Copies of this chain bind each other. A is one copy, B any other.
Amino acid sequence: MINKNSPIPIYYQLEEEIRRMILEELAPGDILPSERDYSEKYDISRMTVRQAISNLVKEGLIYRQKGRGTFVADKKFEQDLSGLSSFSEDMINRGLTPSSKLLSFNETSGNALVASKLQMETTDKIYEIKRIRLANEEPVALETVYTPKALVGELNEQDIDISFYDYIEKKLNLTIDYGDQTIEASLANEDEIHYLNINENDPVLVMHRTSYLNDVKETPIEYVTSTYRSDKYKFKMQMKRD
Contacts and interface: CB of A to CB of B under 8 A. Distances in A.
A12 to B, nearest CB: 13
Interface in A214-242: 214-216, 228, 230, 233-242
A237 B216 CA distance: 22
A231 B9 CA distance: 46
A182 interface: yes
Interface in A178-235: 178-187, 201, 203-205, 211, 214-216, 228, 230, 233-235
Contacts of A84: 239-241
A58 B241 CA distance: 13
Interface residues of A, number: 42
How many copies of the polypeptide does the oligomer hold? 2
Interface in A51-79: 58, 63, 65-66
Q: Describe A's contact surface by its main secondary structure.
A: strand
Quick one: which of A58, A178, A186 has the most chain B CB within 10 A? A178
16 contacts: A47-B47, A58-B58, A63-B177, A63-B214, A82-B239, A83-B242, A84-B240, A179-B238, A181-B238, A182-B234, A183-B237, A184-B235, A185-B186, A186-B230, A203-B204, A237-B237
A234 B65 contact: no
